[in-house]
Amino acid sequence: MVLWVALNALTVHKMRSFLTMLGVVIGIAAVIALVAVGQGAQAQVVSQFQALGSNLLVVTAQQSFGFSRTGLRQSTRQLMMADTEAIKALASAVSLVAPEYSTNATVTYQGKTTSTSVSGVTVEYATVRNTTVSEGRFITAEDNDNMAMVVILGPTVVENLFGSSTANAVGEAVRINRQNYEVIGILKSKGQSGPQNQDNVILMPLRTAQLKLGGAGTTTLRSISLQVRSAADMDFAQAQITAILRTLHGLSAGASNDFRVQNQADILSSVTETTGTFTTLLASIAAISLLVGGIGIMNIMLVSVTERTREVGLRKAEGAKKSDIMIQFLAEAIVISAVGGLLGVVFGIGGAQLITPLMGYSKALVTTQSVALALIVSLKPLPFPHLYATIGSTWAVAGIGRQDGLRIRWSNP
């Protein structure tokens, strides 16, 4: 009976009730949508890091600083094949070593041109970096020993050169720096992480890349990827590699490393923490609109009671208690916030699916926790919308109300 009367009262001013409800709808929809986008982004980043390989360490070159007789000295030493051989021979915690040489190059096929990253790799790269081919075969040890003129194309490169990522490019010849290379395989898609497209890449034998793209006598490397024997040995392997390379590079005790050993687990933990903070920030910003929606309900309750003084007087004359009148107006607030909450959940889930692709992520991740929290906030009397409704109704339906300085007393006629 109370809810029926509340519905009838709300339909008297349809537009006002709709606009009041709209604040709750927008607030809850924003919370659900933005949390879903943040969770989806976090899940995608984690998935892409895991796709790089298991128990992975990556060694790259960096500037080092040390003191000499002339003062502070800065130097940059490139990674060399000798570093790879030393790690293979001395790092007992490392099971596989995959050196890599890479550069940017222009690739052409029958008049079509694209710019991409070309990496020279060995057969171990497939296992260490969790890389597989969807068509054809991967690079073999014989390809590397013979400096074979063969390449494996990423799906994006196939699409740019052949018109479709599903085109049969195996057996075709592409030109890189005016030299022909036979396509022996197509990489399985790994997707895009923000601005970095992991499918826009070409792989070729390491020695071929060093000779054809780096020049005769080139033995430098861009990075060395390492697969550790077990997750428990990650820290030990990192310490081993650091000691080996410092000794090989002749670094003194006071000199900083001229290389960097990156632990996949540490990078993943840092990225997860960052994206989690980003998600929390988005949810906090969206919650402000929910707060505003609650204040809107409080305001409409104040206005509604003030406009219906005659109705309240008649109810009092018929014997209604203050608590009865309070429950009536509170029921109207409950209807507004409850219906607005349910609509907000629907629009939030739909909005998340629309926003996520625009931000460069594959899919939104709507969690039951975010939906449940939004519904609890919408349907419970505390702490948000109904709190304001309770305050507004209590303030207005008290024995003495105030409006523009005019003292209104409820009394029986």
pLDDT in tens, 116-149: 999 999 999 999 988 899 999 999 999 999 999 9
Highest mean pLDDT among 71-85, 91-105, 255-269, 377-391: 91-105
Distance (Å, whole) CA 338 – CA 378: 6
| pLDDT greater than 50 at residue 413 | no
Give pLDDT, residue 48.
61
How buried is residue 369: exposed, middle or buried, by Cβ count under 10 Å (0-12/13-18/19+)? exposed
CA distance 221 to 218: 9
Using a 10 angstrom Cβ sphere, with 0-12 exposed, 13-18 middle and 19 or more buried, the burial of residue 80 is middle
- pTM of the predicted model as reported, rounded to 2 decimal places: 0.58
Confidence of residue 73 (pLDDT cuts 50, 70, 90): low
Size of the chain, expressed as the number of residues it contains: 413
Q: Specify the higher pLDDT residue, 378 or 113.
A: 113
pLDDT attached to residue 244: 95
Whether 156 and 187 have beta carbons less than 8 Å apart is answered as no
Is the pLDDT reported for residue 152 higher than 60?
A: yes
pLDDT in tens, 4-13: 666 666 666 6
Give me the pLDDT at residue 149, please: 96
Q: Are 69 and 193 in contact (CB under 8 A)?
A: no
- Better-scored residue on pLDDT, 34 or 93: 93
What is the pLDDT, as a whole number, of residue 258? 86
Q: What is the pLDDT of residue 396?
A: 46
Instruction: Look at residue 343 in the predicted model and tell me its pLDDT.
Output: 85
Q: Which residue blocks in 129-263 are alpha helix, DSSP H?
A: 141-145, 155-162, 206-212, 234-248
Whole-number Å distance between alpha carbons of 20 and 334? 12
Confidence at residue 338, expressed as pLDDT on a 0 to 100 scale? 77
Average pLDDT over residues 87-108: 93
Paired tokens of 413: 């006629």
| CA–CA separation, 274 and 209 (whole Å) | 36
CA angle at 37 for the pair 34 and 43, rounded to the nearest 5°: 140
Per cent of the chain over pLDDT 70 is 69
